Amino acid sequence: MPTRRTLLFTALATPALAQSWSPERAMRMVVPFAPGGATDIVARVLAEPMGARLGQAIAVENRTGAGGNVGVEAVVRAAPDGHTLLMGTTGTLTINQHLYANMGFNPIADLAPVGLAFGTDHVLIVNPTVAAQTAQEFLALVRAQPGRLSYGSGGSGTSTHTVAELFKLVAQVDIQHVPYRGSAPALNDTVAGNVQVMLDQIASALPMIQGNRVRALAVTGPRRHPALPNVPTVAEIGLPAAEATSWGAVMAPAATPAPVTARLNAVLREALALPAVRERLTAVGADALTSSPEELATYLRSETEKWGRVVREARITVN
């Protein structure tokens, strides 16, 4: 791993790179979703300290449409000079390519990894009327009565859909899918009992769990979540292959020079190490994640394979 001193030396020693970081040339970070969501918030939290370290402002630009594909393609087609970045997500970087037949680009081949930025775990929740106090009791219930219970999601192809389908495949259970236009109405209907189950992101489900409006049975992360220390992981209930984390990663156009992505990675890591940044991420239910560009490239390949299998075997299609 190159040190910060090495990266700075590389930047100063490469005229093209030094020119590309000119303070007169603004940078932008494209978010492929509307303002106000977790991905948008994290991008704005990181843009300020990253820009401060680069000596230039990073503007956050929201480009929505086609499940995030519009924003991703805007970065794919941008000049590979280090001035355009993408805050990509699990869906836009590894799932959408299995759902959309004619995207016109390949997010793995047409983008350069910079580094992981954040992750959010999911939690298996049930309406209190469901006769299961533990995950083991829940699994026994749904196996005894296949197809009787239903789960809500934020829509076909969203993380609350794909994570639930992964859980179903691993657990070998039959729970009916009811898609909504967003996770919030799906959660509301889980609370109301119109659907009985949901695998929601912890951040949004937590208030309902704490208010005893729903019952938490398992979390999908690699370890128990600090906010839910008494809730076991999917590995602890015997389903390690159901582990899943929704995540975000910073990407650049594919031909961006390696010294540029290396410096961007160093700046991203420095920003994520700031206590104030970590606190702001925690406040929106996100955990800071870091990686090298090479580690992220390997992770993207494994996640693409993982979610491609889920899409195929669960026969997931877009709305």
pLDDT along the chain (319 residues), means of 10: 41 46 76 81 94 92 88 96 93 91 92 96 96 97 96 85 94 94 87 96 87 97 91 98 93 95 96 95 85 97 92 82
Q: Is 286 inside a domain boundary?
A: yes
The beta strands (E) that lie in the chain are given as 27-31, 58-62, 84-89, 111-126, 150-153, 176-179, 197-201, 215-219, 245-253, 287-288
CB within 8 A of 88, min separation 6: which ones? Answer: 32, 72, 107, 111, 248, 249, 250, 251
**pLDDT recorded at residue 67:** 81
Asked if 284 and 226 sit in the same domain, the reply is no
**pLDDT recorded at residue 22:** 59
Last residue of a domain, one of 226, 242, 258: 242
Asked if 110 and 136 sit in the same domain, the reply is no
**pLDDT recorded at residue 192:** 97
CATH of the domain at 77: 3.40.190.150
Map residue 176 onto helix, strand or coil.
strand
Last residue of a domain, one of 188, 222, 242: 242
Last residue of a domain, one of 242, 270, 302: 242
What is the tally of structural domains in the chain? 2
Asked if 134 and 235 sit in the same domain, the reply is yes
**pLDDT recorded at residue 44:** 93
- Domain housing 309: 4-119+245-314
**pLDDT recorded at residue 5:** 38
Q: Is 319 inside a domain boundary?
A: no
Asked if 115 and 72 sit in the same domain, the reply is yes
Of 246, 227, 152, the C-alpha closest to 191 is: 152
Asked if 114 and 177 sit in the same domain, the reply is no
Q: How does DSSP classify residue 229?
A: T
Asked if 139 and 233 sit in the same domain, the reply is yes
